[in-house]
Structure 1
Amino acid sequence: MSLLQVKQVNLSFHSRKLFKGKDQTNKVLNDISFAIDEGTCLGLIGTSGAGKSTLGKVILGIQRPQQGQVLFQGYDIYNADKATQHKIRRDLQVVFQDSYSAVNPRMTAERIISEPLENYEKLTIGEQRRRVIELLERVGLNEKDIKKYPHQFSGGQLQRINIARAIALKPKLIVLDESVSSLDMVTQSLILQLLNELKDDFGLSYLFITHDIKAAFSISDHIAVLEKGELVEHYHSKDQFLSSKHPAVKRLRDSILAEHPRFRTITTRANMG
């Protein structure tokens, strides 16, 4: 059984017109189905407005779909009892794009990272502090950072804090929602390297939501493409993605890869394939 199963998920938003005319229904997700196995990363690629972040919210239990199921470790996350939901929240974590908005600016790094530990673990103050220091060191920071506030960190350092918080409870799956897109290229590379190391060390699974093909390629075992709320293709290798003839994939590949001169040879090769 897969760790995460998304089955025929449909989600629409309704908008009311102020004046005469019928209300409009905007379909955001249309019959979405896929699975993620333990210890693997699915890269979910799509342009802005494709529905990627909305799908992430559905999987996290934030946005209930009108139809379909989200099964995590075999449990329907929207119909589970309270005890099961509590367990799901422990094993399913998230790292968002904006590292600053994801934290309380009045909390120190210690308090930010210890939040999930306080909610789920019965640790003494000393044990909790030692665990926080271990987590800081695991993400490339150190004990001196424990009393710093968010504004005292760079964007990359603060994203490391968010990652430390996400792995604090040793979850099964982490949703990474554009988690490196706001960082410079060097910092992106370092964070992606860290995520790969953590995946191997802890046996983590990831849903890596991004518009960046290069980032997806560096971390993903499989690639799925979302366009206008539809999962149009699912690939088991990067070569399959690069050689795909699907019109939506070709548009995505051309529009994104062409922005990076060093990838234009890849684009040319893919178009010739």
Structure 2
Amino acid sequence: MSLLDVKHINHSYHSNRFFKWKETSKKALVDISFSIEEGSCLGLLGTSGAGKSTLGKVILGMQRPEQGQVLFQGHDIYKMDKLTRQKLRRDLQVVFQDSYSSVNPRMTAERIISEPLENYEKLTIGEQKSRVGELMERVGLRERDMKKYPHQFSGGQLQRINIARAIALKPKLIVLDESVSSLDMVTQSLILELLKELKEDFGLSYLFITHDIKAAFTISDRLGVLEKGELIELYDSKDQFFYSKNPVVLQMRESILAEHPRFRSISKSEMI
């Protein structure tokens, strides 16, 4: 059994224009199906407006789809009872793109990271403080930074705090929704390396939602391509993606070469 099974998800956004009979709808997701196995990372590529964030919300239980199922550890997340939902919720975490809006600006790093521990673990104050310190050090921060507030951290440091919070309960799956796209190239590389290390150390699975092919290649085991709400391609290896003749994929690959003169001679070995 797969850790996550997404089956035939369909969803539309509806809008009314003055009169009911003028209602219009836009298909956001069209018959999306895929699975994620334990310990693996599926990179989901797509341009802006492709439906990536909507799909992420559906998987996280934040947006009920019009049709289809999302099965996490065999349970339909939209049909499970409250107790089952609470138990499984600790195994499904998320790291969003905007590290600043993901945290309460009036909370210290210690309180931000300890939130899930307070909800699920029965720890003494000393045990909780020790656990938070260990988590901060694990993501490359210093224990003495626990009392700092979000505005006292850089964007990369704050994203490390979000990652520490996400791994605090040792979840099975983390949805990474454009989680490195707002960072500079150096910081992005460091965060991606951190995510790879955590994946190995904790046996994590990731759904890595991104528009950045190079970031996806760094961390993903499999790749999917979302275009206008449809999962048009699903590749079991990076080689398959590299050799694909799909026009959308070809355009994605060409976009890498146009970013900067330095990358215009990028080779297959550099992508892989």
TM (norm. structure 1) is: 0.95
- Alpha-carbon distance, 1:21 to partner: 6.2
The list of structure 1 runs, each at least 4 consecutive aligned residues, that deviate by more than 4 angstroms after superposition, is none
Q: CA deviation at 1:247?
A: 1.4
Aligned residue in 1 for 2:250 = 250
In 2, distance between residues paired with 1:172 and 1:57? 17
Q: How big is each residue's C-alpha offset from its partner over 1:10-57, in whole Å with a ceiling of 9 and x where there is no partner?
A: 000111112696211100000000000000000000000000011000
Contact 2:177 2:208 (8 Å CA) reproduced:
yes
State the match for 1:40 in structure 2: 40
Partner of 2:100: 100
Q: Could you tell me which residue of structure 2 aligns to residue 177 of structure 1?
A: 177
What letter matches 2:139 in structure 1?
V
Q: Look up the match of 1:24.
A: 24
Cα separation, partners in 2 of 1:20 and 1:91, compared to 1, 3 Å: closer
Distance 1:17 1:256 in 2: 40
3-state SS of 1:50 partner: coil
Normalising by structure 2, what TM-score?
0.96
User: 1:95 Cα shift?
Assistant: 0.3
Unaligned runs of 5+ in 2: none
Aligned position for 1:112:
112
1:197 counterpart residue number: 197
CA deviations on 1:177-228 (whole Å, 9 max, x unpaired) are 0000000000000000000000000000000000000000000000000000
Q: Cα offset for 1:255?
A: 3.0
Residue equivalent to 2:159:
159
What stretches of structure 1 of length at least 5 have no aligned partner? none
**1:246 CA drift (Å):** 0.8
Residue aligning to 1:143? 143
Amino acid in the other structure paired with 1:27: K
Aligned-partner Cα distance in 1 for 2:121–2:97: 27
Backbone CA RMSD of aligned residues:
1.5
Q: 1:43 to 1:262 in 2, by over 3 A?
A: farther
SS class of match (1:113): helix
User: 1:90-121 CA distances to partner (integer Å, 9 max, x unpaired)?
Assistant: 10000000000000000000000000000000
- 2:90 is paired with a residue of what secondary structure? helix
Match of 1:230 in 2: 230
Q: Residues of 1 paired with 2:97 and 2:82: CA distance?
A: 29
Identity %: 79
| Residue 265 (structure 2) aligns with | 265
Q: Is the 8 A contact 1:213 1:257 kept in 2?
A: no
